[in-house]
Amino acid sequence: MKKQIFVKDITKEYMDINDFFVVTKKGTFLRKNNIKYMTIGLRDTTGVIEGKIWERVDEFQDMFDKNDLVYVKSKSRFYQDKPQLNITDIKRIEEPLTIDELKAFFPEGQRASKTVREEFAELVNSIQSPYIKSLFSAFTEQSGLADKFYLYPASIGVHHVYLGGLLEHSVSVAQMAKEAVRFCGGNLDIVIAGSLLHDIGKVDEMEIKGTFRYSDNGRLLGHITLGVIIFDSLVKKIRDFPIQISDIIKHIIISHHGVEEWGSPRKPMTIEALIVHYIDNLDAKVAGVKEYMMENMEDGTWTTFHRLYESRFYKTQEGVYGD
């Protein structure tokens, strides 16, 4: 599978756009004459474009979903000076993509992957406890685990939605949490390990089918439960691993969302868990808003309404200083 036409290349009307995209949104609506039409968002690594399906809406309704990789047949048009696609056919693609093929649909982080991996290694090397350090030896030795952790996004549609996003988010949380320990106290080794491993379950929550999507056990169990399962599998490989250390790090994984309605079965009940929870929340929300600003500016300063965060966001302009 080779992508030929990217969003950035759609610059004229009546271009034949027959190519692969990832679906970012999907909605069915009624025209004034009560005839259905469908609006979908389509993405590749260069941007997002809106598509319209005016015919065969009922036929296409159940053929694809948000986050699917699809092949569309369409023609370009412009509406309010923005390009759109009038889609006449659409098909979901099930075949998994190679890493190089994924790069056509998911951007890579602004920071070089090699640099972030080096920072991950530095954080692990700074750990003093031989037991906790051995966790990361088991982590790198477990088949496929580290490769997925380095490759996957941190989420499918909320924050760090790019190749290597899970690694970058985890490293950022660990680096900020390490600084927080200087002011708040807490066990530094526990904080670093908990930060790096808090989202480890996402390597099993997501899978590559066409593109990144939620796996069956990801939907059934969620990344917190899957994270505990992976953590336990690592601990079992280490002889005489202290149960207290295991429970404290596992508690960070379980509680990092903070409250039950956000998916955590326990609130943070240690200094270390509180630090990881608040910094994880900070890093995820700031990154999510920054990514939202890249594609959803209503004008030069305000975004459109962010449904998840229930707010519009104001983009502070460079060069703004107080008197």
Task: Give the Cα separation of 148 and 36 in Å (integer).
Answer: 41
Most confident of 97-111, 189-203, 294-308: 189-203
Confidence check: pLDDT of 142 > 80? yes
pTM: 0.82
Indicate the pLDDT class of residue 129, thresholds 50, 70 and 90: very high
Q: How does strand 206-209 pair with strand 211-214?
A: antiparallel
Contact residues for 124 (Cβ-Cβ < 8 A; gap 6+): 133, 136, 192, 196
Whether 50 has a pLDDT exceeding 60, the answer reads: yes
Question: Mapping DSSP to helix (H, G, I), strand (E, B) and coil, where does residue 146 land?
Answer: helix
**Long-range CB contacts (< 8 A, 24+ apart) of 126-130?**
126/192, 127/189, 127/192, 127/193, 128/188, 128/189, 129/189, 129/245
The CATH number for 7-92, chosen from 2.40.50.140, 2.30.110.10, 1.50.10.20, 3.90.226.10, is: 2.40.50.140
Choosing among 2.60.98, 1.10.3210, 2.40.50, 1.10.10, the CATH entry for 106-290 is 1.10.3210
Residue 158 has pLDDT above 70, yes or no: yes
Closest by CA position to 212, among listed 23, 33, 10? 23
Q: Per-residue confidence at 321, pLDDT binned at 50, 70, 90? A: low
CA 76, CA 74: separation in Å to the nearest integer?
Answer: 7
Q: Check residue 32 and give its pLDDT.
A: 84
Tabulate helix, strand, coil % of the chain (nearest 5): 45, 20, 35
Q: Domain locations in the chain? A: 7-92, 106-290
- pLDDT for the residue numbered 297: 83
97-107 pLDDT, tens digit each: 887 888 898 87
| pLDDT band, residue 293 (cuts 50/70/90) | confident
